[in-house]
Structure 1
Amino acid sequence: MPQFAANLSLMYTEHDFLDRFAAAAADGFRAVEFLFPYDHAPQTIAQRLRDNGLRQALFNLPPGDWAAGERGLAALPGREAEFAASVQQALPYALATGCRRLHVMAGIAPAGADRAAMHRTYVANLRHAVEQLAPHGITVLIEPINTRDMPGYFLHFQQQAHDIVAEVGHPNLKVQMDLYHCQIMEGDLWTRLQRHIGGVGHLQIGGVPHRHEPDSGEVNYPWLFAQIDALGYQGDIGCEYRPRQGTSAGLGWFAPYRDVQSCDHA
């Protein structure tokens, strides 16, 4: 059965961030993910996980100046030193929480940017990240993001991401496949899952088109969950969606899976 991770950056926002761990555990989640932990000390996050019997599935490297619109550094020429520092900033959090998957955001392409130079920078920075993180058993992830939610982002398509993984050529680099973004950009989710699942290190979901609960809209998620199981996927499925109203009230979709969640899942 699918193993789900509550995304604490989008879900449970009716609670303060550090209180979201307990709220997710009370609803039956045994794993969580979020965008960024850096407003809190690593041991503070780790303690919340321990207190609530939760496993950390994923978080992101620092993205640059988020408030100013930056969405990652990895593909930005001239920012290599900042990117290297971001890897070292994330590592203590991964070690403290036992998190074994870190998402590296590529960044927004400036107007008129040399995309070939961005590609070279991206590949070099990803190689640096995996060289630093793989000895700790950490897998680096890259995620195609749709152009509607994040205009100008460097990485949009599944095949594009898998081609970059092949070019980097390291087993600890995989693709974070968000089915919400993929449906908006490409559709044909089942075929893409069949084609790419071997290179997918993490899945995420959200209803399409409004990024609400995965219980309505144009994607038949219960059917896809069964197919993902049949493919032998062993990772987590991150619930990166914005609840329509209260988070707990919208978890009817989760009820069939709640009792089979495991804090020991891969």
Structure 2
Amino acid sequence: MLRFSANLSLLFSEYPWPQRFQVASRQGFKAVEIQFPYQLPAQQLQALLQENALQLILFNVAADTLLEGGEGLAAVPEKQLQFKAAVNQAIAYAELLKPQMINVLPGRCLQSERYDEYLDTFKNNLRYAADAFAELGIRTVFEAINCYDMPGFIIDSSSQMLDILTELNHPTLAMQYDIYHMQRMGEDSRIFLQQQITSIGHIQFADHPGRGQPGSGAIDFNSLFAIIAASPYQGWVGAEYRPTGSSAASLDWFKQTYC
């Protein structure tokens, strides 16, 4: 059976942060993920997870102003000390919240002539983070994001992710594969999942076009979910979409595939 986690940064956003955990649990989710948990104290998040019998699967290392159009942290040569501080912050949260994985967002390079320098910085920082999180028994993942939603993102294809995995060859490093982003880049997620699922630590999804729930776009999720279910993949599948209506009304796919 597939195991689905609710991304509370996008799902149930019509509720205040503390209430999202309760609503997710009532809708049948056993696990959640959060893009950036740092807006709430780790102790409060720990209590919310325990009160609602939820497991935290994943969160991201802080990424500075990435979501506001900035370059982020992980690839910027001038921000390596800031990145290491963000890793320490993630460790402090992880010690209480016990996530299975922590995601390192590569970020943007807005100076194309410095791309190689940014990519080298990212690989060095990714190795640093993977070493640090491995000491807690936590797997490190990183992801590609499409260049339309985030122009200048330094990793925007599954082949780039595979190249980095091969080069770093780190025992606790894997890719976070986002079906929406790769479909947006014109890739066939069915083929990739069939061929490379053992390189994937976490899967996320949204429909395309629109980044809404399954059924709001053109992706054949019945086929994709069947491929994942029949594969050796033992991880969770994260619902990271923007509901086209209320979050509860967007969960028909969940009821059909899980309940």
Query: Fold match, TM over 0.5?
Result: yes
The answer to whether structure 1 residue 134 and structure 2 residue 150 are counterparts is no
Please report the RMSD computed on the Cα atoms of aligned residues, expressed in angstroms: 1.3
Which position in structure 2 is the counterpart of 1:224?
224
Runs of 4 or more above 4 Å deviation: none
Q: 1:157 to 1:17 in 2, by over 3 A?
A: same
Asked if 1:13 corresponds to 2:34, the answer is no
Residue 255 of structure 1 corresponds to which residue in structure 2?
255
**CA offset at residue 68 of structure 1?**
4.5
Q: CA deviation at 1:188?
A: 1.5
- In 2, the alpha carbon distance for the partners of 1:257 and 1:67 equals 32
Residue 109 (structure 2) aligns with: 109
With normalisation by structure 1, the TM-score equals 0.94
- Deviation track 1:87-140 (CA, whole Å, cap 9, x = no partner) reads 000112112111020110111102334111112111111111111110111111
The equivalent residue for 2:80 is 80
Distance across 2 between alignment mates of 1:233 and 1:112: 36
Pairing 1:121-160 to 2, within 5 Å after superposition = 121-160=121-160
Q: How does 1:18-33 map to 2 (within 5 A)?
A: 18-33=18-33
Q: Is the 8 A contact 1:72 1:104 kept in 2?
A: no
After TM superposition, the structure 1 stretch with the greater mean CA deviation from structure 2, 83-92 or 215-224, is 215-224
1:55-204 equivalences under 5 Å are 55-66=55-66, 68-70=68-70, 72-204=72-204
Change (3 A) 1:10 1:88: same
69 and 124 in structure 1: CA distance in 2 versus 1, 3 angstrom threshold = same
Structure 1: where are the runs of 5+ without partners? 260-266
Size of the alignment, in residue pairs?
Answer: 259
Identity, in percent, stands at 38
C-alpha separation in 2, matches of 1:7 and 1:239:
6
TM-score, scaled relative to structure 2: 0.96
Closer, same or farther in 2 for the Cα pair 1:181/1:86, shift >3 Å? Answer: same
The aligned residue for residue 263 of structure 1 is none
Residue 238 of structure 1 pairs with residue 232 of structure 2: no
1:172 Cα shift?
Answer: 0.9
Letter in 2 for 1:112: S
Q: How much does 1:75 deviate?
A: 1.2
